Amino acid sequence: MKKTIVTDTKILSQVCSEVPDNKRVYDDLFKNLIDTAMAAKNPGAAGLSANQIGELYTAFVMLYNGHYICVMNPKILTVSKKKKLDYEGCLSRPNSGPVEVLRHREIKIRYFDPISEEHITRTFKGFDARIVQHEIDHSKGVLI
C-alpha cells in the first residue's frame, strides 16, 4: 500500500530500532516501502527508508541493477578510506535542492533480505554506496 512520505523532522530525526523477526511485520513493511518508492514522482528516487513512511525501523529499499532490493537490519562491516563529495537529494526534503555530501566510495554491509529470507554480505560501490549510506543515515536519524 502506498504511504505518504514523511517530511516531519521530529519523526525523521529519531533513531530507528531493528525490524523484529516477524514475517508478517517485515512483509507488510517492505510491500509498503516498494509501493511508495514506485509511486514517488521523482525520477531520481533511488532509495526509501522505513522512517520515511512513518515506520521507525532500520530498513530500506533501493534500486539496484534495475530492481528494488530490500535491506533489513544492515550492519556496516567496512568502508573505503577514499571518499567522494557529490550532490544528494531526499524525498523527505522536497523543497530543498541537492546538498553536497561527502561519502565513502565503497561500503560493505551484512543484512537480512526478507525476500530470500537469507543474510547477505555485499559490497556497494559508487552511486550504490552513496544510496546505502544515505539510507543508513536515515535509520540513525541523520538528514542531509
68, containing H or E segment:
strand 67-79
Which residues does residue 76 pair with via DSSP β-bridges, in sequence order?
Answer: 109
Identify whether 135 is a catalytic site residue. yes
Q: Where are the alpha helices (DSSP H) in 7-112?
A: 9-12, 23-39
What is the rounded (10 degree) CA torsion for 63, 68, 72, 78?
-40
Q: Considering just the CA atoms, what is the radius of gyration of the chain in Å?
A: 14
Active site residues: 135
